[in-house]
Structure formats: C-alpha cells, structure tokens
A and B are shown apart, each in its own frame.
Chain A
Amino acid sequence: MSQETLSGWVRRLQAREISSRELTQLYLERIERFDPQLNSFITVTAESALAQAEAADARLANGEQTPLLGVPVAQKDIFCTEGVRTSCGSRMLDPFVSPYDATVVERMNAAGAVMLGKTNMDEFAMGSSNETSFYGPVRNPWDIERVPGGSSGGSAAAVGARLVPGATGTDTGGSIREPAAFCGITGLKPTYGRVSRYGMIAFASSLDQGGPMAATAEDCGLMLNAMAGFDPRDSTSVERPAEDFTAGLNQDLKGLRIGLPKEFFGEGLDEKVRGVIDAAVEVLKGRGAEIREVSLPNSHLSVPAYYVIAPAECSSNLARFDGVRYGHRCDDPKDLMDLYTRSRGEGFGDEVKRRIMVGTYVLSAGYYDAYYLKAQKVRRIIADDFRSAFQDVDVLLGPTTPELPFALGAKADPVSMYLSDIYTIAANLAGLPAMSLPAGEIDGLPVGLQLIGNYFDEARLLGVAHQYQQETDWHTRVPAAFA
C-alpha cells in the first residue's frame, strides 16, 4: 500500500477506497517504525494530523474536491507552522514555536493536506548533505551510511522511504534537486516568484524558492497547484493567472527541442552518471524529442558568484536571530554584547557562522564592489546565457549532480561540498524553474536527471518528466529496507 503515489492516494480518497484517517495512520506508523533509522523528521505532529484527517474525511463525505484533500504531507522545517516548533534545523530556533503559518502551509492546509510533521534539514538550509542540522544528520534510505543530500534532506529521505507521499522543500542553490536526486525521487524548484516566500525562513532571499518533492512528476504538479500563486504578502511573488500544472502531463514530446549544455558534461562528471543521462536522452529521443548541444559559456562562474551572493544575503537575513525576542538566548548575559555574541555563538553551527562571516566580509566597505557588485554582474551574464540558449531549445537537460550520494562525513572540506551543487546553482541565479527526476541506479544508488525550463515553464518541465516516467520505472522504486 505504501508504494502508492500521492496522486494515486488523491484518486483513492476521492473514490472513498480509504479514509484520510486510515491513510494518516498508515504513514504515522511507518514514520514510527522507520524514521529512527533515517532521522528525517524533526517534529511529528501525530495528534493534529489525525484531527486534520478527520476534518478531511468529513469534507470528503460532503463530496468536496480540494486538490490535496486528505493526503498526508510533510513540511520542511523552514516553513513556519502556527503552534508548532519551526526550528530551521538550528539550535537557534529550537525553542521557537511560530505564531503564524507560512503562505505555503496555509495554502496546502486549505487544499486539504494533512501535515504529518516537520522534516529535518541542513541548518538554515545551508548545506548539501543534511549534516549541518542541529538535530543530527539524515540518512539516505538507499544506504544509511550515505547522505540524503541537502538542504531538504529530511523531505527527500522521507519521501524516498515512503514515510510520506509528498513533502515541501526549498531550493536556494539546489536544495530540492540534489536531495531528490540522491534519494531517488522527483523534485521541482519553480520559477523565482511562483511560490510565496512569506513564512519561509529566509536564507538568501533573491534565490530561495519553495517547491514540491514527491515520487512522480504528476505528484509534484498536484502539489504545486496547491502551493503556487500570487501572494500580496511577498513583494517578489509574481502575479499571473492561476495555472493547472498537471494540464500538460500528457503532451507528447514530438518536436520538443531539448538542449544538452556541454558544460554540464565536462570534467568532474562521474562516467557512470553520464551513462545514465545518455540513456535518459535516448528514451526522450524515442518519444519524439529533438536533441541539440547548447552552451552556457559562463556556467563555471555560477558557484563563485553564488558563494558571494548567498552568504551576503544570509549575513543580513540571519541578523534577526539575536537572542532578544525569540529563539535561543544565552544564560545570564553580562551586557548587550555578551548577549549577542554568546546567543549567536551558541545558537548557530559552524557552516552558518562560516557563511555569515563570508557574507559580512563581501558587503564590507572597500570589498562591496569587488565581490558583491561583481557577483551581481556575473549573475546577469549567467541569466543571459540561459536566455540565448532558450532561443534555440525548449528545455535544458543534464545531470543533477556530478556524483552519487556520498558517505556521511566524506566531505569535510566546505569547498568540495559546495561543488556538489555545480549543476544546480545556475538555475537559482537566473531564477529559472528546474527539476530532478530519478533516471537510473548505479551500485544500488539512484541517479538524478535535471531538466531546466524557461521562466514559468513548469508545466512543460513536468510534462517532459511525466512522459519520461511513462516509459521508465525508476520513480516507482523504493529501497528494499523500507518497502
């Protein structure tokens, strides 16, 4: 039963084959049974989940049909949830119970989703392995000695092990796509501005974007239908007519122009990963897609530009965590400076501190032009590269990550960790929608395929992914230990 997809459950709930309460219980039991091995949840909200499920059952009995009615989901612990601890994976917010719901949470609740709990993550979403969480690392369900990717590692591992049919993630430099790839699931980072950032604790405001993580492209489309939409509380959210992201799923691929950026297939790419991607390209070709090689000549600048812009914004975004109003406060502060330095010193982990320091440095008088301003220029150049590529092709395709999921503790050097996001970061810098979907297995570990689309072209991306998933079964595979 637990193999069923989120969209499958929506159909079964509507057909009254199962009640939301039964379904919620099924997944709560799985969490109880399996999560001790994975550590994918920070908080499980069993009681309120059952209450939400009962309310959903009543609505189902009334014939209501909101998009996620009665379906269990999990929220990444970066989304504020009223009355529930919202830790962002940090000791700093370990005591923080949010007084309000994020827009995404509000919208999913309104769509009838049942929240099972809050998933683990890298502290303040800073990491690519989910090892920086105050609540301990999350384990990859395909091999618990390996990382699930990050920062949305809890959501990815929970969906990968089918402890929940769908979960939210956020993606600043690859934080949905990389863990989706590592855990063998489908995850979408929408166009910047598609999903409201209100109530999503900010890491790097100009890059952060929330999105769905689930087994299939169809699941992601259903979830995005509930999550996306203009929000007057987020000035960067884009006002556009409502869209059904599942509408294009059955669009065939005849004539679709797929571009392979040659820079994504160069040095550093694991040969076996390349083989998986090549095979996926053949599948899409077989369904009528035209394949072209394209170039994103400045993509080598993505990681350096990102590691100026993201830390700069985070150094400012995280200034509010000062021990004054909420969150961690040190014991017996001597004076104001002591309150600040100890509360922040104790509340933040090493990676967060590293990025705050880098960000503070690049914004400082005398360095701003050389770093921050320069990085902004690079960012525009990278967006221009994509703009020219999309003159010739409809979708870009490549690997999500250069390597397979690595072992816990394998990347102690921060720079080698930062390079895990080498293929994902550019889409964030340009604000483009991008997704990862499972496309193969190597040595029992999943491999992710990345698709990058033009602005607001999520429906097309999901369509391509769905067509691929019609022909393949990688998305249906569940690690044996969690079957």
Chain B
Amino acid sequence: MEWETVIGLEIHAQLNTISKIFSGAPTAYGAEPNRQACAVDLGMPGVLPVLNQGAVEKAVMLGLAIDAEITPRSVFARKNYFYPDLPKGYQISQYELPIVARGHLDIELEDGTIKRIGVTRAHLEEDAGKSLHEGFELMTGIDLNRAGTPLIEIVSEPELRSAKEAVAYMKKLHSLVRYLDICDGNMQEGSFRCDANVSIRPKGQTEFGTRAELKNLNSFRFVERAINHEIERQIDVIEGGGSVVQETRLYDPDRDETRSMRTKEEANDYRYFPDPDLLPVVVDTAFVNQMREKLPELPDAKRARFVEQYGLSDYDAGVLTAAREMGDFYEAVAAGCGAPKLAANWVMGEFSAALNRSEVELAEAPVNAEGLAGLLARIQDETISGKIAKEVFEAMWNGEGDADTVIEAKGLKQITDTGAIDAIIDEVMANNPQQLEQYRGGKDKLFGFFVGQVMKATQGKANPAQVNERLKAKLDG
C-alpha cells in the first residue's frame, strides 16, 4: 500500500525581550541556576503577573509577517498541571483566544515549486524552568532561570507531507523570526524548538490517521530524522496488523529512535480557564499599524528584490536572503565593490566556505564586508586575477591586513605591462622549440601549454586576458 504522511508542527520560539513575560527578571541565558528568577518567577505566595508589552509587540510582528489576523482582544488562560519545574502549578498561556489567528507561510519544495502552509494560530505563553538530573544524588535539581521566559507557540495546519517539507517550513520560520528580530533562533540553547504531530494514511484517503506527537526536536537534522523514523514505525505497525496509538513520543538523538512518553489515557486534563490575574490583551488598529511600520523587509520580498536589483539568479538570491545578516552583508559587499554578481559568487563561495571552515558566526568573521569589497574591487580593476584573489583572501582571513596590504606585501600585483608579457612569451617560446613547432604544425591544443608556461613564469600574476591575446599574436605570427 502507498502511504501518505501528514505532519503538523508546533514551534516554540523564545521571544528575545530583555525581561520576562510576566516579571521584571532578566531573560539572559546561562546564569547560575536560580539567579535570574524573582519572586514572581518562583511562584511565591501572593505574587502576580504583569504582562510585558515587548512580548505583545513581537507577537504582533510575527502575526503581520505571516499575514495573519491579529486578535483584537486575546485572553491569557491557565494551563494547569503539576511538575516541579512549573512553579505555580499552571502555565500562563493562551487557549481559546490567541493573539495571532489564521495566517500562512510559503515554503519552497525541492523541485522549486512554492507550497503555502497554513498557520492555525500563534499564542503567547511563559516557559517553564528546567529539571537538572545530574549531580543530585537521588534527587532532581530545579533551575527556574528559564521560568517566565516569553514564548510564542506557532501551530501549523497538518499540511506538511514529508519530513523534508517539515524541515523547509521550520527553516522558513526560523529565518523569519530572526529577520523580525523577535527570537535569536539559537536551537542549541532551546530558543527555537519543535514538536511534530505525525500520522500516516493510505494515499487518497481524506480522514487523518491517528497521530503521535514527537517531542524534543531541537535541530533541523533531528526533525527530519525523527519524522522519517516515526513514519517507518507507523507503517510497520499498521502493515504488521496493528494500529497506531495516540501518544507523545520522545526523540532520542543518541539512539536515533522515538519512544513512548505517555499515551492519550495518561494525558493531563489541563483544566484551562481564563487567568483572573490578567486583563484581556487589547490590540487596536493604531498599535497594529505601529508594528507594521516596524517590520523589516521580509525574506521573500528581499529575495525578489535581489533578483531584480542585482540580477542574481533566484537560487542565489534565496541563499543570500535566508538569514537577514547575510543579506545585509551581501548588500554591503556589492555596494562596496560595485559588482553585484562577483559579490554574490564570493559571499556564497569563498567567504561562506571560510565561515564554515573556521566555525565562526558572520558577525565574528575576520574579514568584514568592507574588507571583502576592497578585495573584489581589486579584481574589478584588474590589479589581481580571481585566482590570486583567493590567495589574498586567505591571507586577509589570517589577519595579514586588508587586500591592498597583502597584495603589496606579497608582490601579487598583476602584470599588465604588454612589454613585460611579450618578453616572457618570447622566453617561453625560445625555451620550448619543439612544442612551438608542433603548435605551428597544427596542434592547437598546445595553446594551453603555452598559457600555463607563461603563467608559471609570472607566478600567476600575468593578466590572463592579455596573455591570451599576446600569445595568440606571437604564436600565430
């Protein structure tokens, strides 16, 4: 039987506000346990939540960016369950009236077609703390630094049909939240996390199969692997005569498998009800318009502009606009050297390779946009060839100075003096009489040999176009 996969994603993005969603404690990551938890975060008796307006602003920006309806009066609700890292015994979330209602996100499939994925809703909520299981003999440590960190949970429609589509959707959203500067996107620190609801059904069937919820998918790679695993598991179960149970499964990246956490019967009844400590969040048109004005140019628009303005291919424009900082970097390089296509090739080629090799972030790269533009300008004005430029770039990356300094210090300036090139050609011809004779006898292929000899004699510094031209004249003359 042929099976169709149905996937819906729930993505939790931590909003990068300075303070927590309902208290004034800082949200910064990595402090000593429980040093960034105030009385409110600790769920002390008598404390009350006060909503951080910054979180509302960021949620509205996300809603506008996915073309969603912004709920004029959204309501915080309590999700009640007991867990040691949940200090109040309930999580403040939104239930019936989320701040962001129906929207959508376009993803690009492998064959280049665009698929529109519906976003059911996005709601604001607070994060819980963390349970620490190591270093406490027979006990569990609780770190409440993360408790109260603002999250936006973005829920997709079950419209994704493969692990690859799921990853494409997740990457698109990841890029979007970083463009909007509402989330740092750091998946290792858990700032951007994903749960996936996965089910299968016979191809052609319209009803959904029973789903399993996969938790703990904190990298793009894990999402893809965990979903593919789950699809196989469900096919095996059904084809083996069994049926899929509605349950929550935890992905274990070390063993590359999912295992059951709890079944539907064991699931909590969260007893949601409106939080009486908080007023409804009223968002009026003026506020929405204010947020609309704050929206940066979004990835799809920027990509289209790069194609239009810089004459880039759609693919290149897509790569360069995947991250906002990369797009900004590219534009600075293109402007600085005046050669947009050359800039695109270099940013995606040598420069990105160097970033990967050195494992540094764009902001920490030893060569900045101005430096790279300076190098590319030297290619443009023919001071150096593209090949020599790679050597110069290498030196710049190693901290040996800007392009001009390196070119000067290493004597890499291109030879463009026709007299000098002619003299070298004459010498090469004189030293290779046999090849000369063969060439003149009709063996055209040897032209490349002579080019190589000239370049070798000049250590690559001769202007290749000039070498070609002069060599042709002399050999044929």
Partners in one complex: yes
What is the CB-to-nearest-CB distance from B320 to chain A, in angstroms, rounded to a whole number?
Answer: 45
A213–B169 Cα distance when bound, in Å, is 61
Please give 14 more A-B residue pairs, beta carbons under 8 A apart, in addition to A198-B46, A315-B271, A316-B271: A86-B46, A88-B45, A93-B45, A98-B46, A198-B48, A201-B45, A205-B277, A232-B50, A235-B51, A319-B82, A320-B43, A320-B88, A325-B43, A336-B84
* Interface 0/1 of B41-54, CB less than 8 Å to A: 01111111111000
What is the CB-to-nearest-CB distance from A158 to chain B, in angstroms, rounded to a whole number?
Answer: 22
Interface of B (DSSP majority class): loop
**Is residue A275 contacting chain B, with contact meaning CB distance below 8 A?**
no
- A200, A232, A363: the one within 8 Å of B273 (CB): A363
**Is residue A43 contacting chain B, with contact meaning CB distance below 8 A?**
no
* Number of A residues with CB within 8 Å of any CB on chain B: 44
What is the CB-to-nearest-CB distance from B192 to chain A, in angstroms, rounded to a whole number?
Answer: 28
Give chain B's interface residues, CB within 8 Å of chain A: 39, 42-51, 78, 80, 82, 84, 87-90, 142, 269, 271-273, 276-279
A102–B87 Cα distance when bound, in Å, is 19
What is the CB-to-nearest-CB distance from A383 to chain B, in angstroms, rounded to a whole number?
Answer: 15
A99 to B82, Cβ gap below 8 A? no
User: When A and B form their complex, which 5 residue pairs have the shortest distance between CB atoms, in order from nearest?
Assistant: A319-B89, A363-B271, A206-B276, A205-B276, A199-B46
A93–B47 Cα distance when bound, in Å, is 15
A151–B47 Cα distance when bound, in Å, is 21
A205–B274 Cα distance when bound, in Å, is 11
Contacts of B279 in A (CB 8 A): 235-236
A445–B470 Cα distance when bound, in Å, is 122
**Is residue A171 contacting chain B, with contact meaning CB distance below 8 A?**
no
- A98, A322, A326: the one within 8 Å of B89 (CB): A322
Assess A326 versus B78: contact at CB under 8 Å? Given A205-B277, A372-B273: no
Contacts of A233 in B (CB 8 A): 48, 50
What is the CB-to-nearest-CB distance from B247 to chain A, in angstroms, rounded to a whole number?
Answer: 18
Contacts of B277 in A (CB 8 A): 202, 205, 235-236
B44 to A326, Cβ gap below 8 A? yes
B46 to A80, Cβ gap below 8 A? yes
Among A88, A324, A326, A372, find the residue whose CB has the most chain B CB atoms closer than 10 A. A324
Task: List 22 interface pairs A-B (beta carbons < 8 Å), by A numbering.
Answer: A98-B46, A100-B44, A197-B46, A199-B47, A202-B277, A233-B48, A234-B50, A235-B48, A235-B50, A235-B277, A236-B276, A312-B273, A316-B89, A318-B89, A319-B90, A320-B45, A320-B89, A322-B84, A324-B142, A336-B84, A360-B271, A364-B271
Contacts of B45 in A (CB 8 A): 80, 86, 88, 93, 96, 98, 201, 320-321, 326
**Is residue A313 contacting chain B, with contact meaning CB distance below 8 A?**
yes
Contacts of B48 in A (CB 8 A): 197-198, 233-236
Interface of A (DSSP majority class): loop
**Is residue A370 contacting chain B, with contact meaning CB distance below 8 A?**
no
A102–B44 Cα distance when bound, in Å, is 12
Among B39, B51, B269, B276, find the residue whose CB has the most chain A CB atoms closer than 10 A. B276
Closest Cβ neighbor of B140 among chain A residues? A336
A200–B44 Cα distance when bound, in Å, is 11
**Is residue A368 contacting chain B, with contact meaning CB distance below 8 A?**
yes
Among B43, B44, B87, find the residue whose CB has the most chain A CB atoms closer than 10 A. B44
A316 to B43, Cβ gap below 8 A? no
A201–B88 Cα distance when bound, in Å, is 13
Chain A residues 310 to 369 lying within 8 A of chain B, measured CB to CB, are 312-313, 315-316, 318-322, 324-326, 336, 340, 360, 363-365, 368
What is the CB-to-nearest-CB distance from B273 to chain A, in angstroms, rounded to a whole number?
Answer: 6
Contacts of B50 in A (CB 8 A): 232-235
Contacts of B273 in A (CB 8 A): 312, 316, 363, 368, 372
Contacts of A322 in B (CB 8 A): 82, 84, 89
A319–B269 Cα distance when bound, in Å, is 14
- A102, A232, A316: the one within 8 Å of B78 (CB): A316
* Interface 0/1 of A58-97, CB less than 8 Å to B: 0000000000000000000001100000101000010010
A259–B37 Cα distance when bound, in Å, is 51
A109–B272 Cα distance when bound, in Å, is 38
A326–B87 Cα distance when bound, in Å, is 11
Assess A200 versus B46: contact at CB under 8 Å? Given A100-B39, A205-B277, A319-B82: yes
A93–B45 Cα distance when bound, in Å, is 9
Assess A324 versus B49: contact at CB under 8 Å? Given A235-B278, A235-B279: no
A235–B142 Cα distance when bound, in Å, is 28
B80 to A316, Cβ gap below 8 A? yes
Closest Cβ neighbor of A372 among chain B residues? B273
What is the CB-to-nearest-CB distance from B80 to chain A, in angstroms, rounded to a whole number?
Answer: 5
What is the CB-to-nearest-CB distance from B453 to chain A, in angstroms, rounded to a whole number?
Answer: 79
A98–B42 Cα distance when bound, in Å, is 12
Closest Cβ neighbor of B40 among chain A residues? A233
What is the CB-to-nearest-CB distance from A411 to chain B, in angstroms, rounded to a whole number?
Answer: 28
A198–B82 Cα distance when bound, in Å, is 23
- A86, A234, A321, A325: the one within 8 Å of B42 (CB): A325
Closest Cβ neighbor of A87 among chain B residues? B45
Chain A residues 200 to 229 lying within 8 A of chain B, measured CB to CB, are 200-202, 204-206
